[in-house]
Amino acid sequence: MNAEFIEALEDLERQKGIDKDTLLEAIEAALVAAFRRHFGTAQNVAVRIDRETGEIRVVARRDVVEEVEDPSTQISVAEAREIDPRYKPGDVVEQEVTPRDFGRIAAQTAKQVVLQRIREAERDLIYEEFIAREGDIVTGVVQRVQGRNVFVDLGRTETVLFPSEQIPGERYRPGDRIKVYIVEVRKTPKGPQILISRSHPNLIKRLFELEVPEIHDGIVEIKEAVREPGVRAKVAVDTRDERVDPVGACVGPRGARVQAVVAELRGERIDVIRWADEPEQFVANALSPAKVTRVILEPETRVARVIVPDHQLSLAIGKEGQNARLAARLTGWKIDIHAESQAAEWLAREDDWDIDAVLAGAGGEGQEGAGDDDLDELFGAGAFGDAGDGGGAGGENWDWWSGEGGRGDDHGAGAAEEWAGEDGSGGWDETGDGGDGRWEEGDGAAGGWDGEGPAQDQDGSPRAETPGPESR
């Protein structure tokens, strides 16, 4: 080794951030091991590398003692004083024992140590970069697909998108650019392990942050998001500035912002709803786009009993219970949905009950009132029945529960908007104080407001007519 080697280490320090002194100490330790391995000595040796010239010296270290028991590690006082009269018992004598051909061994060892330290430094840099981005989204490029595992290039490293973290039904091809959510970053002996996901609920939050400036600026806040990846999602939003409509901000002009999120998620339908602090309002909004007549809460059991118009029952439940299931996950309440006719049929047998008063939660003529106590009695009498018990209207009662907590939105006073798209097509549904509206778009058409005749949801249930967006 020579001064050029020291200069090379200094360049490495500047480029890779590897401390030169730390690297030299590692090389010295590696040279000690190489010396013992090649020369089979039991001596206590040390390696010294001159920090200026790069010169290497191997020295044997022996303790000065009165009586020698191990000549490889000890030296008598008399022998030590022949080297230097100042030595006394307890001192350490260092004698150079550098072999003539040690330069070749030193060069090979130094190369291995430097390469290893470079790899370790790069791993540390990658770990520090991605641990700072844990909980964020990054753009990756699909490198290859092996079985069900998708290998994704994240720039400075490569990781695997496991089947459990993929969107069901989504196909990946080499060269595809995809956005992924960094769930966790772990430090392992083989380098940082980065767990990424396309199905995590927080992915949809981060995508909205990219598309909606009001969220990035802190004016609009995403309170909660739940997903059935690849199919449907519900996002509850609120605002810190009452002058800003959080739902409208997330949807964007003509649905442009939410459409961008839908396109990234390959057509996953997204319901953007208004957050509400009141649990009743919160549950009602979570069932959007269905209209809710009344919500009665049972806090002790965390059950929310919901009454909806007959023609809204299937919409409230959703395909295979999807809408009710997502609403339960969003709110953290067990939701039991019933049609108004079920209440009417039971109350028709009671002369002193007023169905309109019960559904409205107010007293009618000739009675003090039909409030929550009356409704509790009504539910408790078995008029509706629970899911699967045969009660109610032909088994159409559904009882959905999820252990995941969440919050909701504002239904009656606010607006609930839904983007329904498939590969970027589709439209947004809006439910507000005045009723329903629908923006329809597809088959490459520019789209328009369907103001003729009652609009319908995807399940075919009729919806009330409202003026187009230009009159809102």
Comparing 342 with 332, which gets the higher pLDDT? 332
What's 98's domain CATH number? 3.30.1480.10
One-letter identity of residue 218: G
Q: How much is the mean pLDDT over the chain?
A: 76
Q: What is the pLDDT of residues 112-147, one digit of tens each?
A: 888 888 888 888 889 999 999 999 999 999 999 999
What domain range is 99 assigned to?
3-130
Residues 74, 126: one domain?
yes
Q: What percent of the chain stands above pLDDT 70? A: 72
Kindly tell me if the per-residue pLDDT of 424 is higher than 60.
Answer: no
Strand order in the sheet with 220-228: 220-228, 232-239, 269-274, 416-422, 425-432, 435-440, 448-449
Q: Return the closest-CA partner of residue 340 out of 299, 369, 383, 297.
A: 383
Comparing 283 with 434, which gets the higher pLDDT? 283
Domains of the chain: total: 2
Residues 42, 92: one domain?
yes
Residues 60, 125: one domain?
yes
Q: 368 lies in a domain?
A: no
Q: What percent of the chain stands above pLDDT 90? A: 40
What's 146's domain CATH number? 2.40.50.140
Q: 119 lies in a domain?
A: yes
Residues 125, 160: one domain?
no
Of 130, 161, 182, the one marking the end of a domain is: 130
Q: 240 lies in a domain?
A: no
Q: 76 lies in a domain?
A: yes
Q: 171 lies in a domain?
A: yes
Q: 352 lies in a domain?
A: no
Residues 102, 27: one domain?
yes
- Is 216 in contact with 206 (CB distance < 8 Å)? no
Residues 137, 120: one domain?
no
Residues 177, 78: one domain?
no
Comparing 154 with 445, which gets the higher pLDDT? 154
Residues 125, 137: one domain?
no
Kindly tell me if the per-residue pLDDT of 214 is higher than 70.
Answer: yes
Of 78, 108, 130, the one marking the end of a domain is: 130
Query: In Å, how far are 220, 281, 321, 448 from 430, measured between CA atoms?
Result: 19, 17, 21, 14
Rg (CA), the chain: 36
Of 169, 199, 229, the one marking the end of a domain is: 199
pLDDT of residue 165: 96
**Which residues fall within 8 angstroms of residue 354, CB to CB, at 6 or more apart?**
347, 364, 365, 367, 370
- Is 45 in contact with 54 (CB distance < 8 Å)? no
Residues 53, 94: one domain?
yes
Residues 30, 126: one domain?
yes
Per the confidence metrics, is the pTM higher than 0.75?
no
The token duo for 210 is 């990219």
Kindly tell me if the per-residue pLDDT of 346 is higher than 60.
Answer: no
Q: What is the pLDDT of residues 97-114, one digit of tens each?
A: 888 778 788 888 888 888
Query: In Å, how far are 205, 212, 215, 233, 402 from 223, measured between CA atoms?
Result: 9, 15, 11, 14, 18
Cα–Cα distance measured from residue 364 to residue 368, given in angstroms and rounded to the nearest whole number: 7
pLDDT of residue 233: 95
pLDDT of residue 387: 35
Q: 392 lies in a domain?
A: no
Residues 73, 184: one domain?
no
Lowest mean pLDDT among 22-36, 131-145, 202-216, 255-269: 22-36
Residues 88, 159: one domain?
no
- Is 465 in contact with 446 (CB distance < 8 Å)? no
Kindly tell me if the per-residue pLDDT of 400 is higher than 50.
Answer: no
